[in-house]
């Protein structure tokens, strides 16, 4: 009888402790560039409990740019990086041991808009002699614009004047005031700038604009260091599984992505935000698979831009063991 009572007491303690044990999750620090809709699958994974279901407590840190976020990863100040596909390929070319876990967004949402005073312009080739706002020099948007201008026959150093402006909302303000002639912006500001009736898109990557290389490149990805991948492979797998489920949810239930977007962008008109989410879904912008052709396209782009000298091999920069979770 004493043994039975002791057993029942132990069982009661275990039952009482089990909720606390179940709630204990592994903390993961993730860094991003400034908040934007290209982070939506990761935000959906957080808000819809998909990271929780994998036993993870993911905290999001939004930084001023991809370079700062990449530096935090290398320094060990964060665990996982969500950033432009360009950064890891560039880092790997310098023998810095980082690897992709998965893609996040394939199609870039960059566009170039002008206001009605330039409504007669038909394309980037018509911007010669004009002022164009860009994000920070060296950013993905800056690189895309420079490459696209050159593809349109313009020299970005001599044929146009590129003006760096911080927040994208400020690009639209400068455009309306006439301080600039065109603005290179991402969503949601591209749709906002066009939808208010004042703007016109000369270039819109979500609609398929850009060269073959530009369309084949991936936009954003999840990245870790090789040491993290070696020591915490199980956590990496959980991150990829949750993100893959979040991506599938965005397509199967468009309201899921829209509702999460509303939480993070409360100041954007609901109908505008719904339209933007629809554009992203129509373009099949969110993916997790990393195709070897995407790495080839990134190599071609970076070599042509003089950023790297030799191509980086797919297996050197992609954690191929994660492919079964894509």
Residues 200-218 have a mean pLDDT of 91
pTM of the model: 0.82
Please state the rounded mean pLDDT for residues 175-187.
92
Which residue did the predictor score with more confidence, 35 or 65?
Answer: 35
The stretch 121-138 carries a mean pLDDT of: 92
Which pLDDT score is estimated for 166?
Answer: 77
Q: What gap in Å lies between CA 50 and CA 44, rounded to an integer?
A: 8
Whether the pLDDT of residue 135 is over 70: the answer is yes
Q: Label the pairing between strands 182-185 and 131-134.
A: parallel
Q: Please check whether residue 70 is in contact with residue 286, taking contact to mean a CB–CB distance below 8 angstroms.
A: no
Q: What are phi and psi of 85, to 5 degrees?
A: -55, -25
Model confidence band, residue 32 (pLDDT cutoffs 50, 70, 90): confident
pLDDT tens by residue, 82-115: 988 998 999 999 999 999 999 999 999 999 999 9
* Chain center to CA of 29: 16
pLDDT in the model for residue 5: 55
What b-and-e string marks burial along 102-129, b requiring 16 or more CB atoms within 10 Å of the CB? bbbbbbbbbbbbbbeebeebeebebbee
Closest CA to 306 of 124, 93, 71, 95: 93
For residue range 65-85, list pLDDT tens digits in order.
667 778 888 888 899 999 889
pLDDT recorded at residue 81: 93
Domains with residue ranges and CATH for the chain: 26-107+217-325 (3.40.190.10), 111-215 (3.40.190.10)
pLDDT band at 215 (very low <50, low <70, confident <90, very high): confident
Q: Give the per-residue pLDDT at 295.
A: 96
Mean pLDDT, residues 200-224:
92
pLDDT, the chain, mean = 89
Asked whether the CA dihedral 61, 66, 70, 71 is positive or negative, the reply is negative
Q: Does the structure show a pLDDT above 50 at 15?
A: no
Q: Does position 178 have pLDDT exceeding 70, yes or no? A: yes
Average pLDDT over residues 23-46: 90
| Cis amide linkage into residue 133, ω under 30° from 0 | no
Predicted pLDDT of residue 189: 86
User: What mean pLDDT do residues 232-254 have?
Assistant: 97
Dist CA 257 CA 245 (whole Å): 12
pLDDT at position 21 over 50: no
- Structural contact between residues 319 and 232, judged by C-beta atoms closer than 8 angstroms: no
Residue 20 pLDDT level (bands cut at 50, 70, 90) = very low
Poorest-confidence range of 4-18, 137-151, 222-236?
Answer: 4-18
Question: Distance between CA atoms of 112 and 126, rounded to whole angstroms?
Answer: 12
SS3 184: strand
Q: Which residues are CB-neighbours of 232 under 8 A, at least 6 positions away?
A: 79
Rg of the Cα atoms in the chain: 22
């Amino acid at each position: 009888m004493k043994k039975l009572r002791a057993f029942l007491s132990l069982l009661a303690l275990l039952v009482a402790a089990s909720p606390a044990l179940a709630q204990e999750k592994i903390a993961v620090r993730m860094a991003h560039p400034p908040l934007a809709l290209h982070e939506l699958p990761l935000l959906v994974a957080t808000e819809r409990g998909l990271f929780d279901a994998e036993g993870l407590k993911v905290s999001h840190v939004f930084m001023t740019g991809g370079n700062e976020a990449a530096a935090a990863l290398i320094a060990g100040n964060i665990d996982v990086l969500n950033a432009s596909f360009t950064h890891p390929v560039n880092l790997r070319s310098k023998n810095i041991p980082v690897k992709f876990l998965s893609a996040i967004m394939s199609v870039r949402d960059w566009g170039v808009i002008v206001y009605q005073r330039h409504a007669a312009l038909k394309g980037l080739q018509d911007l010669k002699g004009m002022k164009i706002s860009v994000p920070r020099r060296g950013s993905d948007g800056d690189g895309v614009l420079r490459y696209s201008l050159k593809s349109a026959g313009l020299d970005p150093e001599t044929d146009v004047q590129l003006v760096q402006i911080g927040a994208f909302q400020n690009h639209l303000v400068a455009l309306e005031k006439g301080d600039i002639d065109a603005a290179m912006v991402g969503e949601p500001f591209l749709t906002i700038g066009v939808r208010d009736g004042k703007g016109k898109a000369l270039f819109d990557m979500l609609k398929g604009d850009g060269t073959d290389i530009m369309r084949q490149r991936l936009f954003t990805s999840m990245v870790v260091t090789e040491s993290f991948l070696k020591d915490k492979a199980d956590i990496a797998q959980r991150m990829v599984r949750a993100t893959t489920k979040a991506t599938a949810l965005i397509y199967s239930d468009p309201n899921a992505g829209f509702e999460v977007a509303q939480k993070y962008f409360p100041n954007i008109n609901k109908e505008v935000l719904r339209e933007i989410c629809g554009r992203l879904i129509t373009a099949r912008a969110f993916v997790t698979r990393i195709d070897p052709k995407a790495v080839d396209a990134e190599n071609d782009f970076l070599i042509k831009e003089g950023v790297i000298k030799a191509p980086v091999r797919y297996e050197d920069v992609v954690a191929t063991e994660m492919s079964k979770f894509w």
